[in-house]
Structure 1
Amino acid sequence: MRRYARTMVAFALATSVVTGSAGWVSGDAQQALTGPPPGSTSWRADRVLGSELPDPARATPTEVAAFFDSLSTDEQQLLLLRHPSVVGNLDGAPLELRYRANSLALAASDDPRYRSLAAPGRRIIAFDPRGRGQVAEVFGELRSARRVSVVVPGSDNDAGTFDREGDTHGTPAGMAKSLYAEAGSDTAAIAWTGYTTPVGVGIDAATGRLAEAGAGRLTRFVEGLVADGLPEPAVFCHSYGSVVCGLAAHRLPATDLVVLGSPGMRADDVDGLRTRATVWAAKDPTDWIDDVPSVRFAGLGHGPDPTDPTFGARRIPADEARGHTGYFAPGTDSLRAFAAIARGTSVGGVSR
């Protein structure tokens, strides 16, 4: 009975936060973008190679990789030019084709939100302009990297805010760029904003609906990297992104899962994630996420704090980080630890 009472108190607290005591009503409900890439209908109907092309909605990344491997260079380039929006977002397609396809798609876009993404030299490995827009960018030489990292951001991130000014190390691009710079040139980092994130901290941020959709997209993206011959990555999950990673964990091919500023992973402990990856957690003492109740009840909340010792994650030092978006700031203990994980070395004397 006492345990039940504590649960109800925590639930009431969570409800009061969501309904206004901390300003959480600022979020608008979002419609999750799911399904195959834009342009898939014309791709399916195309018989330019004399046979059906793999269905983007049904073919696995491994099957996609095998299909492209069977094509000549000229055939690959033909499909790229005819269907850049599909090739650029088709998990399992060769990354060099995806870079080129997304460059074409961005050059053809007249949306001013995406102008900076079209700048020469940017390696855009995914770009979907539908809805608020989704994008993924590579920092470093992905094909030759000994170790790869994927950064999964939280709320208020999309293609239009991907590298916004004013929060240099808190944007998806800023986090991945900082991680790559600290980890070294034999690594690569990908900023992945490939799911519909919550806007503000409303009901979407307090439930797992958008994270469920995002988990499937994250899993497929990482499977596509591996199918293309790249190493399994370390996945860094910030804020609501850690909810996505928690739901994806049991099927996500990854060496490490690193959560930072996490409201919970929708699991009671590390065993509940059902992952073979090493799980790490960081939270700095000034992060407002510490005020979010660690509860999951009737679909609301995301469960225990991953930095709680009873959760079972390996704790990452973060005393030098500041605020909710300061974990990747240069010179911080958290970034140094993240870089060690990205390189596959020990963290504060604790090895993977």
Structure 2
Amino acid sequence: MRGFRARHAIAATAVALATVLGAGGWAADTQTPVTGPPPGSAAFAADASPGPRPPDPVTASPADVAAFFAAAAPARQDALAARYPLVVGNLDGAPVALRYRANALALAAERTRELARATDPALTPQDHQAARTRAERYRTLLDGGRQVLAFDPRGRGQVAEVYGDLATAARTAVVVPGSDIDLLSFDRASDPYGTPAGMAQALYRATDGRTAVIAWAGYTTPVGLGPDAATEDLARAGASRLTRLLDGLAATTRPQAPATVFCHSYGSVVCGLARPTPARASGVVVLGSPGMGVDSAADLDPGVPLWATARNGSDWIGDVPNVRLLGLGHGADPTAPGFGARPLPATGSHGHTGYFAPGTASLAAYAAVALGRA
């Protein structure tokens, strides 16, 4: 009888985890994470133009990349960005301004390609509509001098955008989002503070522009209801990409301190598995967290302060069982007193996506942490 109860409890926990963590909808899609550098990387590494051979995006560290570009003449940098825009635009360690230019070229090229697909008679009407949607998305990212730090059209698409000036800001911050975020949902008019762009803009304004903030949709996130949101596979892949981003910032920017990382929902699992070191991060803040993939703050680097935002009463994440069982679940609740995180208030916030809303105690606290005043 005890064995039956145990099996029943395991099954119930699995169902609860899969149901609650898939708050984005009733889709059961299983995602294949986009990993590795984009197409063109082999040609970039083999480029035979005069000067030292470019670093291999597959094996070179961001510090190696930064050293190469520091020694390369501006004309060669521009030429490489023009020939390999998708590669240079996503190359952590490359100069930030060069990445902006490369990504503008890549976005323009992809928009042209999608516009052609939108009228290709060999494709279906559904394909035409999807192509028009993507082309419009690329157009908006090209408008108004937006600072696109990364752009990868593979899969559901990935993008990162900078608010502020990474070259001059005394402090930097990175926003890591949770489920259902990709190229098309990176920013939106409805529920803006549930998107990385909306969170980053709110934080940038709350610090009066003294912190440059990166909205980072740079990993494959879970979609809707399904096993991806209840397991750590996508988070592990995302953790590797987040670590490279932070290493690239350390190699190319010179703020007073490394970035503070703000991790929302499933993004807090990414941050927990990344285990940032003091060289990569000044602190980690989790909000709306289902767990961090660790048992306590003691499992993370003690040199990186960890803050956990109190959960507001209307955040559905409070229904998530804080367990790790048979590969399901993300472990202990970071807001629990025994976890070991420093508490942050959530007064005034509502729902799972309201912690960055202007006027909330949580956003004011995030600004203080980002500015090094917490």
Q: Is this a same-fold pair by TM over 0.5? A: yes
1:317 aligns with 2:317: no
Structure 1 runs, 4 residues or longer, greater than 4 Å off: 4-10, 18-25
Q: What per-residue deviation string (whole Å, max 9, x for no partner) do you get for residues 115-150 of structure 1?
A: 211113100000001110000000011110000000
1:276 aligns with 2:300: no
Within-5 A mapping of 1:134-213: 134-213=158-237
**Alignment-derived partner of residue 274 in structure 2:** 248
1:16 partner SS: helix
**Alignment-derived partner of residue 263 in structure 2:** 237
Distance 1:317 1:10 in 2: 33
- Is the deviation greater in 105-114 or in 183-192? 105-114
Task: Using the TM superposition, give the Cα deviation of residue 175 of structure 1 relative to its aligned residue in structure 2, in angstroms.
Answer: 0.4
Task: Using the TM superposition, give the Cα deviation of residue 82 of structure 1 relative to its aligned residue in structure 2, in angstroms.
Answer: 1.2
Distance 1:144 1:185 in 2: 11
**Alignment-derived partner of residue 42 in structure 2:** 41
Distance 2:8 2:359 in 1: 40
Task: Using the TM superposition, give the Cα deviation of residue 209 of structure 1 relative to its aligned residue in structure 2, in angstroms.
Answer: 0.3
Task: Using the TM superposition, give the Cα deviation of residue 39 of structure 1 relative to its aligned residue in structure 2, in angstroms.
Answer: 1.6
1:289 aligns with 2:317: yes
Normalising to structure 2: TM-score of the pair? 0.87
Within-5 A mapping of 1:1-352: 11-18=10-17, 26-110=27-111, 111-112=134-135, 113-231=137-255, 232-251=258-277, 253-282=280-309, 283-346=311-374
- Residues 285, 319 of structure 1: 8 Å contact kept: no
2:275 partner SS: helix
Structure 2: 5+ residue runs without aligned partners? 112-133
- Residues 21, 229 of structure 2: 8 Å contact kept: no
Task: Using the TM superposition, give the Cα deviation of residue 251 of structure 1 relative to its aligned residue in structure 2, in angstroms.
Answer: 4.8
Count how many residue pairs are aligned between Structure 1 and Structure 2.
344
- Identity, in percent, stands at 56
2:80 partner SS: helix
Name the aligned partner's letter for residue 271 of structure 1: A
**CA 1:23 to 1:60, structure 2 compared with 1: closer, same or farther past 3 Å?**
closer
**CA 1:320 to 1:10, structure 2 compared with 1: closer, same or farther past 3 Å?**
farther
Name the aligned partner's letter for residue 220 of structure 1: R
- Residues 17, 23 of structure 1: 8 Å contact kept: no
- Is the deviation greater in 175-184 or in 22-31? 22-31
Distance 2:359 2:189 in 1: 20
Normalising to structure 1: TM-score of the pair? 0.93
- Residues 17, 320 of structure 2: 8 Å contact kept: no
1:339 partner SS: helix
Distance 1:295 1:275 in 2: 23
Name the aligned partner's letter for residue 210 of structure 1: L
